[in-house]
Amino acid sequence: MNNLQIRILDPRIGQDWPLPHYASADSAGMDLRACLDSPLRLAPGQAELVSAGFAMHIGDPQVTALLLPRSGLGHRGLVLGNLVGLIDADYQGPLKMSLWNRGSAEILIQPGERVAQLVLVPVIRPAITVVDHFAASARGACGFGSTGRQ
């Protein structure tokens, strides 16, 4: 996949604020901005749905997009309400971010602030094969925490 189609929904995207883009040559995620009309104050425990200012269409069933929090903001308490967003290749609607303050102090989000990132990843869709047993492995079937401390 070499092309991600986006449709601008907020005219500030591409004018006042850049299109979604990679901040450096080695960035894995594209920065997404909060398309707000005024600053948003998120109280501890509060979540709000915020527009990224565009709709998107991947169009390739071998690719999906993951919506992730930004590391520094996440450390300070701003994460996504669903923790990770999954965008299917056939979705063509607006991109919205559930911004959640999981911290203990109010968080102020400014219009146009970078609040999340979008990562495109390959999708593997295997056929399901039902078996009577698995070949033995070193890990076995001991369940949750079986490789170390629980």
- Distance in angstroms (rounded) separating the CA atoms of residues 107 and 113: 12
pLDDT tens for residues 63-108? 999 999 998 888 899 999 999 999 999 999 999 999 999 999 999 9
Quote the pLDDT of residue 141. 66
- Distance in angstroms (rounded) separating the CA atoms of residues 10 and 4: 18
CATH level 2 (architecture), domain 3-120: Distorted Sandwich (2.70)
Q: How confident is the model at residue 35 (pLDDT cuts 50, 70, 90)?
A: very high
∠ CA 40-64-102, nearest 5°, is 30
Q: How confident is the model at residue 52 (pLDDT cuts 50, 70, 90)?
A: very high
Q: How confident is the model at residue 56 (pLDDT cuts 50, 70, 90)?
A: very high
- % of the chain exceeding 90 in pLDDT: 83
Beta bridge partners of 114: 33
- Average pLDDT over the chain reads 93
DSSP output for 76-99: HTEEETTSSEEE-TT--SEEEEEE
Domain-wise residue ranges, the chain:
3-120
Residue 51 has pLDDT above 70, yes or no: yes
Out of 23-37, 98-112, 124-138, least confident range: 124-138
* For residues 16-43, average pLDDT: 96
Quote the pLDDT of residue 150. 53
Residue 147 has pLDDT above 70, yes or no: no
